Amino acid sequence: MSVYFVALINIHDRAGYANYEAGFMQVFNQYDGRMLAVDEAPTIREGEWPYTRTVLIEFPSGAQADAWYDSAAYQELAAHRYAASVANIARIKGVEAP
């Protein structure tokens, strides 16, 4: 079953965050991930959305998602994100087709 990462990010250092972005796809593509959405100006239908970037990605399985996130290559790259932003990130399960 597919799993998704939803990342709600506040970027406070665009130049530093660019270092994260520069290597992201190279690491991400090794784990069969699929980028579904990246938006810095979503249409807010209810409530407040105080984030400067929202990201939605998909993996075919939880094992692949965890392998990507926990990999040494991603964690090394994520150090740039940690220094340049604050994020709330959740891994959520997909819904099985009926």
CATH of 3-93, one of 1.10.645.10, 3.40.50.300, 3.30.70.100, 3.40.640.10: 3.30.70.100
The residues spanned by each domain of the chain are: 3-93
Span 1-35, pLDDT tens digits: 899 999 999 999 999 999 999 999 999 999 999 99
Amino acid at 15: A
10 Å CB burial of residue 88 (0-12, 13-18, 19+) is exposed
Indicate the pTM of the whole model. 0.91
Question: What pLDDT sits at residue 93?
Answer: 96
Span 30-89, pLDDT tens digits: 999 999 999 999 999 999 999 999 999 999 999 999 999 999 999 999 999 999 999 999
Phi, psi for residue 92 in degrees, rounded to 5 = -125, 150
Question: What pLDDT sits at residue 98?
Answer: 75
